[in-house]
Amino acid sequence: MNGIELAERFYLTYGRELIEKTVSDAVGRIAVGIAGHGSECFGYDDELSRDHDYEPGFSIWLTDEDDIAIGVQLARAYRTLPREFEGVKLSSKTGEGSRFGVSTADGFFRATVGRVDVPTDPLDWFTLPDHAIAVAVNGKIFRDDAGIMTRRREGFRYGMPGDVRKQKLAARLALMAQAGDYNYPRMLARGDEAAARLAVYEYVKHAIAAVYLVAGEVRPYYKWQFRGLLDLPCLSETHAPLSRLVEGGSAETTNDAIEEVNAAIVRELGATGTPLDRLAQEMHAAISDRRIRELHLMEYGAD
């Protein structure tokens, strides 16, 4: 079983009863689950991942007020949980220096996205890296009756204003065109193979970001971006040509892969046949918020 399944089974077997017995009056205000940094929080963990961070446990999140009132009591109770479950041993001290145990909801969001609330000013969204949002909204919440985690997770996951998304996508499309359609062939023509390969890598970076934006999903940390492509609701077919670009190849195969990815994205956007640079400009011009429309097309939205 993967880390999310292990955490939920451990909670259902021991954690739910422990919380109800320890702080029965506060049960409805407590959130429990697994989320944050680590492959297991994305559901991407495998046999290789089990050399670290694979152990029974779950997170308990409290409001700041409840943390003051019952946090210590609940943390002490958490440390009494079994140190082995389903044949998996706990390697760290339970609840002490562990990613599991008792903490606050506000603390979780400060540690992941650097703020406790979902931005209300659209411009503030440009300060939030995609991978930070992905860490804040991954995993699974097992219970959250009061919504102390769920409301904000949904806000960070789905609350990005449309004009911000347009700017981010327009920037990525423009940079894809610059790196893949323009700079790559020019560097080849100059005989600068190293710069040409760098152009390909720049293209891949921006193309992956564009694919996640078009799919409406949050792009994770770089090492999980290719894995995540396979789970997207659309454009998962770009995984193969993007992989070929990273692996390297002749100029012909590289150009073919770039064209394949470009075509898939513009097709999904309903703009088949439109060059990326023109599509980016049209998207940027369609932004309603003047403050965002006045941002430089290629300098804002591409972290």
Q: Is residue 299 part of a domain?
A: no
Mean pLDDT of 59-72: 98
173-200 pLDDT, tens digit per residue, is 999 999 999 999 999 999 999 999 999 9
Is 301 among the domain residues? no
| Same-domain check for residues 173 and 242 | yes
Residue 237, pLDDT > 70, answer yes
- Same domain as 239, residue 215: yes
pLDDT per residue over 4-55, tens digit each? 999 999 999 999 999 999 999 999 999 999 999 988 999 887 666 555 566 8
Note whether 101 and 227 are same-domain residues.
no
Q: Give me the chain's average pLDDT, please.
A: 93
3 state DSSP class of 61: strand
Q: Does residue 57 carry a pLDDT above 80?
A: yes
Helix (H, G, I), strand (E, B) or coil at 210: helix
- Residues spanned by the domain of 88: 3-158
299 token code pair? 């300098």
Q: Which of 137, 158, 179 is the last residue of a domain?
A: 158
Q: Quick check: is 87 in a domain?
A: yes
Distance between CA 108 and CA 105 in Å, rounded?
A: 5
pLDDT in tens, 68-117: 999 999 999 999 999 888 878 776 554 444 579 999 999 999 999 999 99
Placement of tokens 């789905």 in the chain: 158
Render pLDDT for 156-175 as a digit per residue (tens, 0 to 9). Answer: 999 999 999 999 999 999 99
Q: Are residues 130 and 113 in contact, defined by beta-carbon separation less than 8 angstroms?
A: no
pLDDT score of 96: 45
Q: Does residue 151 register a pLDDT over 90?
A: yes
Q: Is the pLDDT of residue 286 over 80?
A: yes
Considering the domain architecture, whether residues 226 and 125 belong to the same structural domain is answered as: no
Whether residues 129 and 44 share a domain: the answer is: yes
Tally the domains of the chain: 2
Same domain, residue pair 148 and 119: yes
Find out whether 77 and 18 touch, Cβ atoms under 8 Å. Answer: yes
Work out whether the CA dihedral 55, 60, 64, 68 comes out positive or negative.
Answer: negative
pTM for this one?
A: 0.93
pLDDT of residue 98: 59
Is the separation of the CB atoms in 73 and 27 below 8 Å?
no
Residue 121 sits in the same domain as residue 34? yes
DSSP-assigned letters across all residues of 26-50: GGGG-EEEE-SSSHHHHT---GGGG
pLDDT at residue 94, rounded to an integer? 45
pLDDT at residue 142 is higher than 50:
yes
Q: Both 148 and 184 in a single domain?
A: no
Q: What are the beta bridge partners of residue 104?
A: 62
* pLDDT band, residue 247 (cuts 50/70/90): very high
